[in-house]
Amino acid sequence: MTTAARTPVPARTPIGRVAVIGGGTSCEHDVSLASAAGVAEALLAGGHDVVRLTIDPEGVWRDGGDRPIGLAGAVHVLRSCAVAVPVVHGPGGEDGTLAALLDLAGVPYVGSGVGAGALAMDKWVTKLVAEALGLATAPGVLLTRASAAAYAVDHPVVVKPVAAGSSHGVSLVREQAELAAALDAAFALDDRVLVEDVVVGREIDVAVLASGAELLVSPALEIRVDGLFDFEAKYGGGADFVVPAPLSSTEQKALESAALAMFTALGCRGVARIDFFLTEAGPVLNEVNTMPGFTAHSQVPQMFAAAGIDYVALVDRLVRDAVAGRATPRAAA
């Protein structure tokens, strides 16, 4: 493990066409479009030949000119590229769906593979993995529509869909009267819902970047927000990001160790953001994001920028590592 330090931008020799995929059918469609636009601009700034592809909210693949080309057309385009960057957050993208498509098409890609994407997207399974590693998580229960009818709360809890991101469908429930609406919001996005005890602690994120044979750990980022770090706080300017987060050496080591353990156990590749609550007893895992928000102002780019790896250099490194580490012979088109 190497803590990210100031790293020079690699020599920018051409690597061929780079496909950037954005959009998707999940509730994170618009967030994904913003991330994909940022990644594409960073690639252009790095001298790469960028091909843009978008999945619209109905699941139709479109080219850079917004012309519908369908799945077959998209695969044809993808197979003409040296590498793909699937910047599709949430179900239908980050959950391993696009990784499977790219594996079948024989196209190297940035980010985690099918297994890691599916495991990390499932917040309940992520908790089970963390607990098997000896990492603390918030006490919680898994509910379906059938079991939710008998569930009652007698203390504050957070209700969230098992597989969704950007804090969509997440509610803070303080009393029984608030539960029904919270469950409805979560079940609107998923058939399974996670109900967790509220954890009192600082919200700290750590990013891990797999670069060659090294795992680079970013400086930690602290999220300071008044109340729940929900969708409005994330994207409406209601939260402050402090990076590097003020931490003792013991706290920093504990967070880095936990982040690396989750990244490795899940089999992540590329970059992932691991979110924690830092309590008096130590880190409590919240979730793992294998395709986190990726504009220049998002958490992961800010964390690596604090270590001297700017946005353009970070994106450049990701695509080059994907080509070098997972180049797959492609059958003739």
Q: Are residues 132 and 145 in the same domain?
A: no
User: Are residues 95 and 24 part of one domain?
Assistant: yes
pLDDT score of 165 = 64
Is pTM beyond 0.95 here? no
Could you tell me which residues are beta bridge partners of residue 125? none
Single out the catalytic residue among 26, 32, 112, 166. 166
79 and 9 belong to one structural domain: yes
Quick check: is 325 in a domain?
no
Is residue 311 annotated as a catalytic residue, yes or no?
A: no
Known catalytic membership, residue 12: no
Active-site entry in 62, 269, 273, 320: 273
Find the CATH number of the domain harbouring 125: 3.30.470.20
In the predicted structure, residue 18 carries a pLDDT above the cut 50: yes
In a domain, 210, yes or no: yes
SS3 14: coil
pLDDT of 284 over the 80 cut: yes
Confidence of residue 226 (pLDDT cuts 50, 70, 90): confident
- What is the span of the domain harbouring residue 9? 2-111
Do the Cβ atoms of 209 and 216 come closer than 8 Å? yes
Catalytic residue selected from 122, 190, 287, 316: 287
Across 16-20, 215-219, 221-225, 270-274, least confident range:
221-225
Q: Is residue 323 part of a domain?
A: no
Four-residue CA torsion sign, 187, 189, 190, 196 = negative
Whether residue 249 is contained in a domain is answered as: yes
Catalytic residue among 235, 257, 310, 330: 235
Least confident of 8-22, 31-45, 71-85, 149-163: 8-22
Number of domains in the chain: 3
- Asked if residue 300 and residue 236 are part of one domain, the reply reads yes
Confidence of residue 328 (pLDDT cuts 50, 70, 90): very low
| 228-277 pLDDT per residue, tens | 544 454 444 567 999 999 999 999 999 999 999 999 999 999 999 999 99
* pLDDT of 167 above 90: no
Considering the domain architecture, whether residues 185 and 295 belong to the same structural domain is answered as no
d(CA 263, CA 105): 26
Read off the CATH number of the domain in which 45 is found: 3.40.50.20
What is the pLDDT averaged over residues 95-124? 97
Whether the CB-CB separation of 58 and 68 falls below 8 Å is answered with no
**Separation CA 173–CA 160 (nearest Å):** 11
Final residue in a domain of this structure, among 167, 197, 227:
197
Q: Which of 28, 94, 256, 321 is catalytic?
A: 28
Question: What CATH code is carried by the domain that includes residue 176?
Answer: 3.30.1490.20
Residues 32 and 157 occupy one common structural domain: no
What whole-number distance in Å separates Cα of residue 83 and Cα of residue 94?
17
User: Which of these is catalytic: 38, 96, 117, 293?
Assistant: 293
Active site annotation includes 166: yes
Catalytic, 287? Answer yes
Rounded to an integer, what is the distance from CA 127 to the centroid of its chain? 16
Is position 248 annotated as part of the catalytic site? no
**Looking at the domain assignment, is residue 279 inside a domain?**
yes
Task: Answer yes or no: do 14 and 100 share one domain.
Answer: yes
- DSSP, collapsed to helix, strand or coil, labels residue 40 as helix
Q: For residue 150, what pLDDT is reported?
A: 94
205 and 305 share one domain: yes
Give the active site residue among 94, 275, 316, 321. Answer: 275
Please check the confidence at residue 332 and state whether its pLDDT lies above 80.
no
Token pair belonging to 63:
């080219």
Note the pLDDT of residue 3. Answer: 58
Is 324 part of any domain? no
87 has pLDDT over 50:
yes
Sheet holding 17-23, edge to edge: 61-62, 49-55, 17-23, 83-86
Predicted confidence (pLDDT) at residue 175 exceeds the cutoff of 70 = yes
In a domain, 326, yes or no: no
Provide the token pair at 235.
């994207």
160 with 252, same domain: the answer is no
Find the farthest-apart pair of alpha carbons in the chain and give their distance in angstroms, rounded: 62
Average pLDDT along the chain: 91
Q: How many residues does the chain have?
A: 333
Any domain includes 327:
no
DSSP bridge pairs for 208: 217, 272
CA atoms of 296 and 285, how far apart (whole Å): 25
Q: What is the pLDDT of residues 179-206, one digit of tens each?
A: 999 999 999 999 999 999 999 999 999 9
The DSSP string of 74-121 is: HHHHHTTSSEEEE---STTTTTTHHHHHHHHHT--BSS--HHHHHHHH
Same domain membership, residue 300 and residue 210: yes
Q: What is the pLDDT of residue 164?
A: 78
Tell me the three state secondary structure of residue 301. helix
Residues 135-145 have pLDDT tens digits of: 999 999 999 99
- State the catalytic residue, choosing from 32, 112, 289, 298: 289
Give mean pLDDT, residues 63-86.
97
Q: 3-class DSSP state for residue 198?
A: coil
Q: At which of 197, 222, 241 does a domain end?
A: 197
Q: Is the pLDDT of residue 329 over 50?
A: no
Domain match, 84 and 6 both: yes
204 shares a domain with 193: no
